[in-house]
Structure 1
Amino acid sequence: MALRACGFIVFRRLASRIPSLDSIEYLLLQTSYGKHHWTPPKGHVDPGEDDLTTALRETKEEAGLGAEDLQVVDGFIQELHYEVQGKPKEVLYWLAELRDPAIAVTLSDEHQDYRWAKLDEACALAQYKDLQETLRAAHRHLQDKQ
């Protein structure tokens, strides 16, 4: 059975006279363990917990951003499948906009840094092809909704 995790692709829109996709930045957190990879906030599903509740809990724990800070974007969910230390893992990501682009991110001890990055930089930081494609899919979804 695959290990299951859930999280959010969190984005914010920078102030701009003309709203555009160029004003969007994505939140990535740098782990404080292993190879210090960059990832959106996510974490393991607790027994009896539903997936969306996990995503909200983990985003609050890892980045200090609660449900009151986020606006979940309808119609977007991505499921990733990969192996970690030889064991299957699946991750579900929803897309959520930060309601107040100026709100501070507060990291847990699981992470040592965070960055708001435009799509190209976010993909470069993400390193893993499936996560890069998830970020691009989120961007396309926002483009289609504009």
Structure 2
Amino acid sequence: MSAKEKVAAGFVIFRRFGKEIQYLLLQTSYGQHHWTPPKGHVDPGESELQTALRETEEEAGLKQEDFIMYRNFQRTLNYEVQGKPKRVVYWLSELKDPNTPIKLSDEHIDFKWLNLALALNYVEKYKDFQQVLNEAESFIKSNL
């Protein structure tokens, strides 16, 4: 990681609701109120996975025991934010109980559980994250 590169980490969280696979997206309370999975910046001395776990609990109220992590599904996105490089690492995880409540932090104003088609629509400005969602769906259907 270069001194100028920002690094963040989070989870693409899904649940099985009946026969439907649904993804958790949170709507930010800042900027253009975009939709994103739970994620956040890596703190000094913290691993990317520790960050993903901490941020998921802070932003959505989900603890590690609430979901199953699939460490063999990891995706890294590299892009620029305000002219500075940013790297975001995502792991896939499945909510154990589809009725587990989401408890939003003040960083977000809403959340939705969305099937793939709707989730892709909500993140349409972020083609690289759309690809992550498509790959997650394929992984789930092929392996889980």
TM-score bucket of the superposed structures, by smaller chain: over 0.9
What does residue 19 of structure 1 align with? none
Q: Deviations over 1:11-65 (max 9, x none)?
A: 000134xxxxxx1000000000001000000000010001111100000000000
Report the TM-score, using the length of structure 2 for normalisation.
0.94
Moved over 3 A (4+): none
Gaps of 5+ in 1: 17-22
Q: State the secondary structure of the residue aligned to 1:76.
A: strand
% same residue: 55
What does residue 122 of structure 2 align with? 125
What does residue 137 of structure 1 align with? 135
What does residue 75 of structure 1 align with? 72
Please, which of 96, 105, 119 is the counterpart of residue 93 of structure 2? 96
Q: Distance in 1 between matches of 2:92 and 2:130?
A: 14
Taking only aligned residues, the RMSD between alpha carbons, in angstroms, comes to 0.9
Q: Following superposition of structure 1 onto structure 2, how do residues 33-44 of structure 1 map, counting pairs within 5 Å?
A: 33-44=30-41
Equivalent residues, number: 140
Amino acid at match of 1:52: L
Gaps of 5+ in 2: none
Report the TM-score, using the length of structure 1 for normalisation.
0.93
